Structure 1
Amino acid sequence: MIPRVPRLQVTELVLDNCRSSNGEIEGLNDSFKELQFLSMANVELTSLAKLPTLSKLRKLELSDNVISGGLEVLAERCPNLTYLNLSGNKIKDLGTVEALQNLKNLKSLDLFNCEITNLEDYRDSIFELLQQITYLDGFDQEDNEAPDSEDDDDEGDEDDDDDENEAGPPGEYEEDDDEDDGASDLGEGEEEEEVGLSYLMKEEIQDEEDDDDYVEGGDEEEEAEGVRGEKRKREPEDEGEEEED
C-alpha cells in the first residue's frame, strides 16, 4: 500500500488529462504550499479563477486547454513563476498577454499554437511587451535555444567549480601524470612482450623435444636393422664351417 504524502510535502504535481467537469480548477487549495511545479495539460480549463495561492510555484504547464483570458490571476497567486506554458490555448491578442507584465520573475513563456502567433511581428511585440522574459517559444531574441532546465545548468556550474577547486590549479600535476602514464604504459608493454615471448619459447622447446624423440626412434630402428643384417651374414658362414667339420 502506498502511503499518503502530506500536501505540505508535495513539490511537484502532474494532473495532465484529468478533465475538468466545468472548465475550472478543482481539488487544489492553499494547503499545497511547497508546490514548485504544476502541470495541468489537456484538462479543458477555460478559467484560472480558482487557482489557489502558490507562492513557491516556479513552473506552470497549462498547454492544450481553452484559456482565453484572466491571466492576471497568475501574478496575484503565483508571483514567483519563472516558466509558463500556455501553448495550444485560445489566446488571440497582445492585450491578453499584457497581464503577464506583473510576473516580474518570468523568464520563459510558450505560446505555441495560439492564434496570437499569427500576428505580424509577433515575437518582437511580445519581447517588447514583456521585457522581463528571456525565452519565447523556446528561443531568445537572437534565436538561441533555451536550455532544458536552467536549474540543472546552475547545479552543473556549481559542480564544475567544486571539481576545479578540489583539483587545484590547472597544470600543476599534468607533467607528473604524463610521466606516470608513460611509465605504466611501458610496463604494460614489457609484460605483454615477455608473456608473448615466453609463450613462443615454450612452443619452440616443445617442437625440439618432439624432433629429438623422432630422431632417436629412427636411430634405434637403424641399429636393429643392422643387427639383423649381421645375423643373416653370420648364419651362412656358420653353416659352411659346420659342413667342413
Structure 2
Amino acid sequence: MILYFSATGNSAYVANRIGKGIGDTVVDLFDKIRENDFSELCAERPWVIVVPTYAWRIPHIVRKWIENTTFTGNHDMYFVMTCGGNIGNAGKYLEKLCLKKKMNYLGCMGITMPENYIALFSTPTQEKALQIIDKAEPVIDQAINYIKNDKKFPQMDVSFKDNMNSGIVNDLFYPMFVHAKNFFATSDCIACGKCANVCPLNNICIENGKPVWGNACTHCMACICHCPKEAIEYGKHSQGLTRYICEKKVL
C-alpha cells in the first residue's frame, strides 16, 4: 500500500507513479491527518510512504500520524521523499521510527522535484517544473524496480552537513520559522475558502471575508499555492513569485 501526503502535488504524482508501477493501492493521507484519524491499517504488500521533505526530514505531522497509527499485515516499510535539493540524513530518523513501530525499514530514496517552498525559495515556471519532473522520472522508475523486486533502497553517503541539517537545523527550524505569522491575504481575496479547505491542520478560517491563520501551521504552502487569485502572500518574499502546483498527471 502506498500512503502519501502532498500539499502541492509533487508527492502525489510520485505516489501515483509508484502505485501504477507496482500495481498497488494508493491512499492520500490528507483527511486522516486533518481529522486525527489513527485507525488501524492493514496491507499484505510492503508499505510505501511518500512525503515531501521539510527541513531534511519527513514532515512532523506525518511522523506524528505514523507514530499513532497501527500497521498490520506486512511489516516492511519503504520511504520516498520528494525534495527541492536533498533529504540530508533523514534515513537515520526514519530507521528509528520504524524500530519504534516494530517495522522493517527498507530504506529511503530522495527524488528531486520542483521547489514549492515559496516562504524561503523561488518556485519554478511551469516549463521549468516539467523539465525537473522529466529528470525525476528515471529515479522514480528505480524506486519502482527496488520495490517490485523486494530489495532495500541503496544506502546513501551521508556528509557532516547532512547530519547537521537533519539534526540540529531541523530541531531549530520548526520553532524558529514554522509559523503562520507572515501569511496575509491581499485585496484580491474573494473569500472562496479554498485556502481553508486545503489546510491539513484546519489552521485557517474565513472571518469577515478574509482568511485568518491560527497557530498550527506546518508550512506546507498549500494555502498560498492553491489560491485561485494568488491573493495570499508570505511577507514580502513571495511577492511576484510563481505559485507552484504540480500540473503533471499519471496517465
TM-score (norm 2): 0.25
Higher-strand-fraction structure:
2
- Of the two, which has the highest radius of gyration? 1
TM-score (norm 1): 0.26
